[in-house]
Structure 1
Amino acid sequence: MKNPSLPKIDLHIHTNYSDGLPTMAEVAKAARLKRLALAGVADHYGYAKGRMKPWRLRAYLAEAEAEGLLKGVEVDIFEDGHVDLAASERRLFDYVIGGVHEVAGVAFWGDPSPIPDPKGFVETVRVAVIEAIESGLIDIVAHLTWLPEDIRSEVNSLITPDWVDSVVKAAASKGVAIEVSGAWLVPDEWVVKRCLKEGVKLSMGSDAHRVEDVGNLSYPLSLFKRLGVKLEDLFIPRPLAPEA
Structure 2
Amino acid sequence: MKVAIVSNPRHRAGDMIEYLLLRAVHTFNKFVPADLLIVEGELGEPEEGFLKDLFLSVERRRLPLAPLWLVRQEGAALPEAPEQVDVNGVPESPAALVERIRLAAGGLPDFCRAPFEAVLADVGADGSIRAERVPMAVEKLPGVTDFHVHTRMAYCCENMDIPKALRMAELSNIETVAFIEHSGQLYFDVDDYWAGRYVWKTRGKADGCPAVCRMPGYEETIREGRRSGAFLNGFELDVDRNGDIILDEPDRRFAQVRLGAYHHMAEKYDAHIASRQFLFCTEALLKYGVHILAHPFRIFPWSGMAKPKELYEPVAELLRRCGVAAEVNFHQNDPEPEFFEICLKKGVKIALGSDSHNLYEVGFFLPHFRFLAELGVTGRLDEVLYRFPEQAR
TM over 0.5: yes
* Greater C-alpha radius of gyration: 2
- Point out the more displaced range, 173-182 or 77-86: 77-86
1:53 to 211, 214, 237: 214
RMSD: 2.4
Task: Tell me the residue number matched to 1:81.
Answer: 243
Q: Structure 1 residues 88, 149: CA separation in 2 closer, same or farther (over 3 Å shift)?
A: closer
Could you say if the C-alpha distance between residues 141 and 29 of structure 1 is closer, same or farther in structure 2, counting changes exceeding 3 Å? same
- The residue aligned with 2:259 is 97
Q: How many residues align?
A: 225
Asked if 1:211 is matched to 2:362, the reply is: no
Q: Do residues 12 (structure 1) and 148 (structure 2) align?
A: yes
Superposed, 1:122-137 pairs within 5 Å as 122-136=275-289
8 A Cα contact 1:178 1:202, kept in partner:
yes
Alpha-carbon distance in 2 for matches of 1:187, 1:39? 21
What amino acid sits opposite 1:58 in the alignment?
E
Distance in 1, matches of 2:246 and 2:371, equals 31
User: Which SS does the other structure have where 1:102 is aligned?
Assistant: coil
Cross-structure match for 2:293: 141
Aligned equivalent of 2:318: 170
Is contact 1:97-1:139 (8 Å) kept? yes
* Aligned twin of 1:231: 382
Q: Structure 1 pair 185/38, CA: closer, same or farther in 2 (3 Å)?
A: same
1:121 and 2:274 equivalent?
yes
Instruction: For 1:23 and 1:216, locate their aligned partners in 2 and report how far apart those are by CA, in whole Å.
Output: 16
> Which amino acid counterpart does residue 44 of structure 1 have in structure 2?
H
- Alpha-carbon offset, residue 160 of structure 1: 2.2
Of 163, 166, 170, 1:28 maps to 166
Where structure 2 has 5 or more consecutive residues not aligned to the other structure, the ranges are 1-133, 194-212
- The answer to whether the 8 Å contact 1:8/1:215 transfers is no
Deviates more, 1:180-189 or 1:191-200: 180-189
User: Take 2:383 and 2:341, find their aligned partners in 1: how far apart are those partners?
Assistant: 15
Query: Whose RCO is larger (CA < 8 A, sep 6+)?
Result: 1
Instruction: Decide which moves more: 33-42 or 44-53.
Output: 44-53
Q: Deviations for 1:180-225, whole angstroms, at most 9, x for unmatched residues? A: 1032344311111111111111110111101111112223211212
Compute the TM-score of the two structures, normalised by the length of structure 1: 0.81
Check whether the contact 2:178–2:257 (CA below 8 A) recurs between aligned residues. no
AA of the residue aligned to 2:169: A
The 1-side partners of 2:328 and 2:345 are apart by 16
Supply the AA of the counterpart residue of 1:218.
L
Letter in 2 for 1:144: P
Q: Percent identity?
A: 21
Q: CA 1:6/1:168 → structure 2, altered by over 3 Å: closer, same or farther?
A: farther
Q: TM-score, normalised by structure 2?
A: 0.52
Q: Secondary structure at the match of 2:246?
A: coil
Shift of 1:94: 2.9
